[in-house]
Homo-oligomer: A and B are copies of this chain.
Amino acid sequence: MELKKAIFERRSIRQFTDADITPEELEMLVHAGIWAPTAGNIQPWLFFCVTGPEQIHNIQVLSPGMLGNPTALVCVCSDLNRAFEKAGEGGKTLALFDCAMASQNIMLRAHDLGIGSCVVRSFNQAAVRTILKAPSHVQPELIIMLGRPARVPNPPKRNEDVLFWEEYTEEGEGK
């Protein structure tokens, strides 16, 4: 798929059919994720692919922001040890950015593969870490719901007046 099509036609999908996402597809998604930019090549990320219905359910009950019926999840986590070792106190914030850029690669690649996605931040991070049986340095940052789209929503309205030239003006640039 053309990049532009992926960027502009990707929607946040919350209603899915019960068709599976294969392990090979999940590997392709994560592979797209790891080629996101990462400050100092730190790669402070870990990707948990979850396909078991019970495991998905357990995570979903901890995630008020996760509405819908995903058939797979990718939990994108920071490796806080790695982030701190390589970048000190600021490493945790760098890891947030890196995880988000990796997530965007994953969602674009999902759309490319005919897979719907929706990224969620509203969940109990410590509880999700426990469900993933992960140690304390693994911090769940974002969860990407995945599945075959059952319903594609219309594009949401986007503000176009968010572009400024050289410096701030009260009016913005209202393209």
Contacts and interface: CB of A to CB of B under 8 A. Distances in A.
Interface of A: 1-8, 10, 12, 23, 27, 30, 32, 34-37, 39, 41, 43, 45-52, 55, 65, 90, 93-94, 96-98, 100-101, 103-105, 107-109, 112, 118-119, 121-122, 131-135, 138, 141-142, 156-160, 162-168, 172, 175
Interface of A is mostly: mixed
**Could you say how many copies of this chain the assembly holds?**
2
Given A101-B100, A159-B43, A49 B166 contact: yes
Contact of A3 (B98, B112, B119): B112
B168 A135 contact: yes
A37 B107 contact: yes
